[in-house]
Amino acid sequence: MNQSRITGVFERARQEGRAAFIPYLTAGDPTASMTVELARELDRAGADVLELGVPFSDPIADGPVLQRSAARALAAGTTLSRVWRIAEKIRAETSLALVLFSYLNPLLRRGLARAAREASSAGFDGVLVTDVPAEEGAQVQPAFRAANLDTVFLVSPTSTGPRMKGAADLSSGFLYVISRRGTTGVHGSLPPDLAATVSRARRAAPQLPIAVGFGIASPRSARAAARLADGVVVGSALVALSEETGSVEEVGRFAVSLSRACRTREA
């Protein structure tokens, strides 16, 4: 099997002495065209992987910023089919690896096997189903792997060793470490137990890159996360800036600062 685009991203980042920069956008917020513009700007800013979220009406893992983002995208008429069209444009116009970030329900409505095939055809390289724990992952993972999509699972500070191992065994591309308890959102600093959580994740997944997300909102916290992990995920802070300013350029400037903060050694 050929190396996945996501695996290649992490290998290149490691060779360049940095953690991979992984921003998040909600597809269709505030419009489909704006999502594509933002993705292009993030690509120019040095992003490696884009998590593209499917807006959902009951986003239980998301804080207020991403809840508002999903509401705007749904109000703009964003369906799963429109997410595919947005992804096709991003794939054609950027070098970003693409991860589909979704709750399970929209994919079940489509049919998992069909959704996986359509996601792959649209240009996605992987999928993260945020509300499927490792214990239930074996029921959904094969459909995505059959479509040549990497499957990314979540672990958290409260995950036991066996649960982390289960998530690692189902994951490819990378393992996603949630930095803190609770929902997504903007926080001032990283939790003090993050290093221990990442260390446990590495023991569970010695062959996989580890990415850290939830609450990373500044170059300072991105720099700290980059020294622990192989990838740094930033979502709410970027979405909030887009919401506040409506400026692609402002988001791009902030993204450049985050990308630079992910460097762990001089080039």
Residue 33: φ, ψ to 5°: -65, -35
- Residues labelled catalytic: 51, 62
pLDDT at residue 179 tops 90:
no
CA 11 to chain centre: 17
pLDDT class of 76 with cuts at 50, 70, 90: very high
pLDDT at 32: 98
pLDDT in tens, 191-204: 789 999 999 999 99
pLDDT at residue 212 tops 80:
yes
The residue segments making up the domain with residue 50 are 5-261
153 or 62, which is more confident?
Answer: 153
Please state whether beta strands 49-53 and 126-129 pair in parallel, antiparallel, or not at all (unpaired).
Answer: unpaired
pLDDT at residue 237 tops 70:
yes
CATH of the domain at 32: 3.20.20.70
pLDDT class of 253 with cuts at 50, 70, 90: very high
Q: Tell me what the pLDDT averaged over the chain comes to.
A: 94
pLDDT at 62: 83
pLDDT at residue 227 tops 70:
yes
pLDDT at residue 184 tops 60:
no
Q: What CA–CA distance (Å, rounded) separates 178 from 131?
A: 13
Q: What is the mean pLDDT of residues 151-157?
A: 96
Work out the burial of residue 265: count CB atoms within 10 Å of its CB; fewer than 13 is exposed, 13-18 middle, 19 or more buried. exposed
Q: What CA–CA distance (Å, rounded) separates 201 from 165?
A: 8
Question: 230 and 14 in contact (C-beta within 8 Å)?
Answer: yes
- Please check whether residue 266 lies inside any domain of the structure: no
Helices (H), the chain: 5-15, 32-45, 64-75, 80-93, 104-110, 112-122, 134-137, 141-146, 161-170, 194-204, 219-226, 236-245, 248-261
Q: What is the mean pLDDT of residues 50-73?
A: 92
Work out the number of other CB atoms within 10 angstroms of the CB of residue 95: 10
Q: What is the number of structural domains in the chain? A: 1
- Please check whether residue 267 lies inside any domain of the structure: no
pLDDT at residue 215 tops 50:
yes
- Residues pairing with 211 in the sheet: 176, 231
Question: 31 and 76 in contact (C-beta within 8 Å)?
Answer: yes
